[in-house]
Amino acid sequence: MSRYVVRRLLIAVPVIFGISLVLFTILALAPGDPFEELATNPNVPPEVRMNLRAKFGLDDPLPVRYTRWLTSMLRGDWGFSFVSRVNVDTLIVQRLPTSLFVLGSAQLLGLLIALPIGTYSALRPYSVFDQVTTTFAFIGFSLPTFFTGLVFILVFSLWLDWLPFIYRADISAAGWRWWWEHARQAAMPVAVLGLFQGATLTRFVRSAVLDVVRLDYVNTARAKGLSERATVVKHVVRNALIPVVTLVALQIPGIFTGAVITEQIFRIPGIGSLLISSILANDTPVIMAITFVFSCLVVIFNLVADLLYGWLDPRIAYR
């Protein structure tokens, strides 16, 4: 197993490298100049601008600029936000936990919905329960998160007045009150993301369980007198999870799409809403860093999926 882990880690390195190359290429190809503002400012003489360009190495050849950019990114020197006058990494470290909390809870909710429902409907294919859940799953993943978010606000905040629709990082209450307030404000964003994930995952789980449940070893398990519960949990679901993990891993980059949108709708102070506000404020260092962080998160979660995969299916780890 440890050799498998090391091998997976080693594969992640070139991926991060490739992603950084893609990001840098996009930045280098982009028209416009970070010193454009200085060029239009009459108080800055052209010589000063030229000196600044030389100082920051903007006229160096591309490979040189790429190496310098990558080494400073890896060293954790992510530059300086133009707008908030703070180091980019402190800005991101402030915001990241909130994003991860919302994303993680939503993913958990999605799994809690999808695993039982998907399994149950695959064990009784074409029953009424199966048809109802399949239809709901179809509707669920056709509903874009920005629309469900707005509908939730409309129903639960404006009409019923149950939940707050603005997420606050600074809740003044303490103790139980603090937890309660947090749960209330996280309920809608987590539900929006989690229901969407749940709908997608239910379909995956259902088709994976359908594939497994007809296999001979399941019949064997039943024939040797195992309870239905043990058969399903230990024999069917565990094996059905293997393809599900693959599909979940492929979904990860898409999950961030929903995360950025829900953060924007509910004004969650996470890195997704930071990305949008930085784009609106032309804050290039922050934008680049956040895109890089998102890419790293994708790679990390893929790694987690790989490890889960090795745990679920030991054959993979010993290959």
Partner 1 sequence: MSVAAAPAAPLLSAGSARLSLWREATRRFRRHRLAMIGFALLLVMVAAVLLGPFVYRVPINEIDFKAKLKGPSRAHPLGTDDLGQDLLARMLYGGRISLAVGVVAMLISITIGTGVGALAGQLGGVTDHTLMRLTDLFLSLPQLPLLLLIVYLFRDALKKTLGPEAGVFVLIVAVIGGLRWMPVARLVRAQFLSLREKEFVEAARGLGAAPLRQVMRHILPNAVGPVIVAGSLDVAVAIIAESSLSFLGLGFPPDIPTWGRILFDAKDNLDFAPHWALFPGTAIFLTVLSINYIGDGLRDALDPRKVLGGK
Q: Does 22 bind partner 1 (CB under 8 A)?
A: yes
Distance between CA 259 and CA 283 in Å, rounded? Answer: 20
Interface positions, 200-239, toward partner 1 (CB under 8 A):
207, 210-211
Contacts of 310-318 with C-beta under 8 Å, sequence gap 24+, read 310/1, 310/4, 310/5, 310/8, 312/238, 312/241, 312/242, 312/245, 313/242, 316/4, 317/1, 317/4, 318/4
The answer to whether 302 contacts partner 1 (rule: CB under 8 A) is: yes
Chosen residue from 254, 311, 314, 316 binding partner 1 by CB under 8 A: 254
The dihedral built from the CA positions of residue 197, 131, 204 and 213, taken in this order, carries a sign that is positive
Is 153 a binding residue for partner 1 by CB under 8 A? The answer is yes
Q: Two tokens at 157?
A: 């905040």
Contact between 102 and partner 1 (CB under 8 A)? no
What distance in Å separates the CA atoms of residue 117 and residue 209, rounded to the nearest whole number?
A: 11
Q: Which is closer to partner 1, CB of 123 or CB of 150?
A: 150
- Among 100, 26, 119, which Cα is nearest to 69's? 26
Ramachandran quadrant class, 72 (left: phi over 0; alpha: psi -120 to 50; beta: rest) = alpha
Binding status of residue 253 toward partner 1 by CB under 8 A = yes
Q: Give whichever of 105 and 200 is closer to partner 1, judged by the CB atom.
A: 200
Among 257, 267, 314, 316, binds partner 1 (CB under 8 A): 257
* Count, residues near partner 1 per rule CB under 8 A: 50
Q: Which two tokens stand for residue 174?
A: 């303490």
Map the footprint of partner 1 across residues 27-46, applying CB under 8 A: 27, 30-32
Q: Which residues bind partner 1 (CB under 8 A)?
A: 15, 18-19, 22-23, 26-27, 30-32, 125, 138-139, 141-144, 146-147, 150-151, 153-154, 158, 207, 210-211, 250, 253-254, 256-257, 260-261, 264-265, 275-276, 279-280, 287-288, 290-291, 294-295, 297-299, 302
